[in-house]
Amino acid sequence: MDFIDKVLKCADCGNDFVFTAGEQLFFHDKQFKNDPKRCKSCKAKRVSGGNGRPETRTVCSQCGMETTVPFKPTQGRPVLCRQCFQMKAPMQPPVVRAATQG
């Protein structure tokens, strides 16, 4: 099977990138079914960007401070900064298990 370079569009930045014949051969050998969706720089950002989770800038519902959260906030639900979240979350006492007699 012969492969030729293909120009694809990055799903993140929208720029065109080349999916080389060598890369296509690699994908074929590994039995990957889909072409890549991201250019090399966007893929590198995604890999190094903290477990692939998007960071979203928002404002804390409680104190009004600008913060970033590792998820996309849902409309109508409060979003708290780290400090307000930690103050609101009750401290859990350590679980003490009774020894069983047997």
pLDDT per residue over 41-83, tens digit each?
Answer: 888 887 776 555 667 888 999 999 998 888 888 888 999 988 8
- Separation between Cα atoms, residue 39 and residue 51, nearest integer Å: 18
Token pair of 45, please?
Answer: 């950002």
Please give the Cα distance from 10 to 19 (Å, whole number): 11
- The confidence score (pLDDT) of residue 55 equals 78
Its pTM surpasses 0.85: no
Which has the closest alpha carbon to 80: 62, 55, 54? 62
Q: Enumerate the domain spans of the chain.
A: 6-48, 56-88
